[in-house]
Amino acid sequence: MRQKGISLNIQPTDAEDLSEDHVGTSAETPMRADAFDLDDEEKIEQIEKHFREIMTILGLDLTDDSLNGTPRRVAKMYVKEVFSGLNPKNRPHPRLFENKYNYDQMLVEKDITFYSHCEHHFVPIYGKAHVAYFSSGKVIGLSKINRIVQYFSKRPQVQERLTVQIGKEMQRVLQTEDIGVVIDANHMCVASRGVGDTNSKTGTAYFSGKFNDENIKREFLNYINSK
Ligand SMILES: [Zn+2]
């Protein structure tokens, strides 16, 4: 479900939990069982080879100075940077702290910039994520929320799944149901090709626990929309 503007409501399905085992649920990135049989270096080598092939088929002259290093550069970028979030070894493990201030209101981390890739075209999706929670007695460092957003962004994604993955990870890490996530993003596959619409944005949301309450939801959305 996807629509423009920030008002929609994707309900979590309670059957799904984000356990480490890669059983295919709708919230999980579809991965093969042998996904990590190759190590990073082996992956880079193979991707380099295949990317060189793609460029050659396109008719490019790979002996040209400017193009020669591209296959390896792309391979490293895929494995070490833009798709590094596929590898569970890169998953952040934030430390929890006692909520010693007894702060019992909503905490919002707004305007978290993220860069991801559309899994249908392998071109960028980028935008802002807004994440909110109520403490269950534990809190995490604010920068850790950014790290969770970055981890799930660095995969081939669809925006809906990215939103749900961040929401579920926040629930798991913070041991609370009370999570709200809103993502506002630009899709280069829409802007730079196909219909060529450079102005449209896509909004998705994940609300669980207290965030299903209309007043709480409104407070969160008002804060996001305030300057
Ligand atoms: Zn796309």
The CATH number linked to 54 is: 1.10.286.10
What pLDDT does 11 receive?
Answer: 42
Q: Which residue has the tokens 């809906």?
A: 160
As residues whose CB is below 5 A from the ion ligand 1, the structure lists: 118, 120-121, 189
Report, as residue numbers or ranges, the catalytic residues.
Answer: 118-121, 159, 187, 189
Does residue 78 share a domain with residue 112? no
Residues making up the binding site: 118, 121, 189
Residues 105 and 203 both lie in one domain = yes
Last residue of a domain, one of 53, 86, 119: 86
C-beta of residue 160 within 8 angstroms of C-beta of residue 185: no
**Residue 148 falls within a domain, yes or no?**
yes
**Residue 149, domain member (yes or no):** yes
User: Residue 136: what pLDDT?
Assistant: 92
What is the model's pLDDT at position 197? 81
Together in a domain, 59 and 169: no
User: What per-residue confidence (pLDDT) applies to 9?
Assistant: 42
What's the predicted TM-score (pTM) here?
0.87
Sign of the Cα pseudo-torsion (210, 155, 185, 93, in order): positive
If asked whether residues 137 and 64 sit together in one domain, one would say no
- Residue 73 maps to a domain: yes
In this prediction, residue 195 carries a pLDDT of 81
Report mean pLDDT in 10-residue bins for the chain, 227 residues: 43 39 66 96 98 98 98 98 97 92 93 97 96 94 96 97 98 97 94 81 96 97 92
> Could you give the C-alpha distances from 204 to 8, 120, 130, in angstroms and in order?
7, 18, 11
Query: Which residue is listed with tokens 């991801």?
Result: 116
Q: Residues 101, 82: one domain?
A: no
Phi (first) and psi of residue 22, to 5 degrees: -90, 60
* Burial grade of 189 (CB within 10 A; 0-12, 13-18, 19 or more): middle
Ligand 1 midpoint to CA 121 (Å): 4
Are both 54 and 116 inside the same structural domain? Answer: no
Torsional class of 132: left (φ above 0), alpha (ψ -120 to 50), beta (otherwise): beta
Query: Would you give the DSSP letter of residue 94?
Result: P
Cα separation, 115 vs 155, in Å, equals 10
Which 3 state secondary structure label does DSSP give 110? Answer: strand
pLDDT of residue 6: 46
Ligand 1 center to residue 212 CA distance, Å? 30
**168 in a structural domain:** yes
Cα-to-centroid distance, 114 and ligand 1 (Å): 16
Q: What is the CA(30)–ligand 1 centre distance, in A?
A: 17
Token pair of 10 as six digits: 């994707």
In whole angstroms, give the CA distance from residue 212 to residue 216. 7
CA distances from 6 to 12, 127, 177 (A): 17, 13, 21
For residues 14 and 28, what is the distance between their CA atoms, to the nearest angstrom? 14
Range(s) of the domain holding residue 76: 40-86
Verify that 221 and 142 share a domain, yes or no. Answer: yes
Return binding residues for Zn(2+): 118, 121, 189
- What pLDDT score does 25 carry? 53
pLDDT at 139: 92
* Number of domains within the chain: 2
Q: Give the CATH number for residue 184.
A: 3.30.1130.10
Clarify whether residues 214 and 162 are in a common domain: yes
DSSP for residue 96 = P
- Put residue 102 in one of left, alpha, beta given phi > 0 → left and psi -120 to 50 → alpha: left
SS3 content of the chain, % helix, strand, coil (to 5): 40, 20, 40
Q: What is the C-alpha separation between 38 and 50, in angstroms, rounded?
A: 15
Task: Report the pLDDT value the prediction gives residue 187, as an integer from 0 to 100.
Answer: 93
What is the model's pLDDT at position 192? Answer: 81
Specify the pLDDT at position 5.
Answer: 42
